[in-house]
Amino acid sequence: MNGTPSDVETRSDGRSDHKPRTRQALIDASLKLFAAKGYDATSIDEIAALVGISPRTFFRYFETKDQVLFFGGDAFNDSVVRRLPGQPVQLDDLGALEATLISLTPMVTPLKARIRLFYQALDGTRTLIGQQELAMRKHDAAVASALADRRALARPDDRCHMAAALASVAVQQAYVTWLGSRRALPEILEENFALLRSVSVT
């Protein structure tokens, strides 16, 4: 649910490539149908029909329905892991995570409507919730490794793992608040990380 592909890309021969536009149309159509009808009740035929392509063409872009739903998540997670080690050394683990996540909000903010549909699609679908939990555990492990690199550790210690897990909680709660309000995401993230620190101190 992250970076948005451009509508049309230019190929090396100078001709327009409409694949990114079709891929994004499939994502948008899928999210709308999943949120309205439920993931299990939505067929690939319906998604393809809404976009105006054949079901066979759908499989040129995605192998399964759930691949559509989670497309783009890895790009955002990779950005977090890449930026984290470069945060100022005076920041502690949570501070480095907070700074990294806030720096990436310009990538997330334009996708608010899609992210809202994503969470609506997840709601009540056990298979998707399970996949989301697995993806989050994988992401937390990668973040813990990035924190270890930042502190020149051979492997993540308990503090790295704890910081990664706590940051995930802060981010998920920030999304809930953001999606239900008109407040800016960076402000909410700052507030949640401050709350996280206050809870850990008391």
DSSP 90: T
Q: CB-based burial of residue 27 (10 Å sphere; 0-12 exposed, 13-18 middle, 19+ buried)?
A: buried
Judge if 62 and 127 occupy the same domain.
no
Judge if 55 and 86 occupy the same domain.
no
Judge if 78 and 57 occupy the same domain.
no
Judge if 84 and 104 occupy the same domain.
yes
Judge if 170 and 101 occupy the same domain.
yes
Judge if 55 and 78 occupy the same domain.
no
Q: Is residue 3 part of a domain?
A: no
pLDDT tens, position by position, 97-155 = 999 999 999 999 999 998 998 888 888 788 888 888 988 999 999 999 999 999 999 99
Query: CATH code at 107?
Result: 1.10.357.10
Q: Is residue 16 part of a domain?
A: yes
Range of the domain at 61: 9-68
pLDDT tens, position by position, 22-61 = 998 999 999 999 988 888 899 999 999 999 999 999 999 9
Tokens 């783009």 -> residue: 72
State residue 17's pLDDT score: 52
State residue 137's pLDDT score: 93
Judge if 60 and 96 occupy the same domain.
no
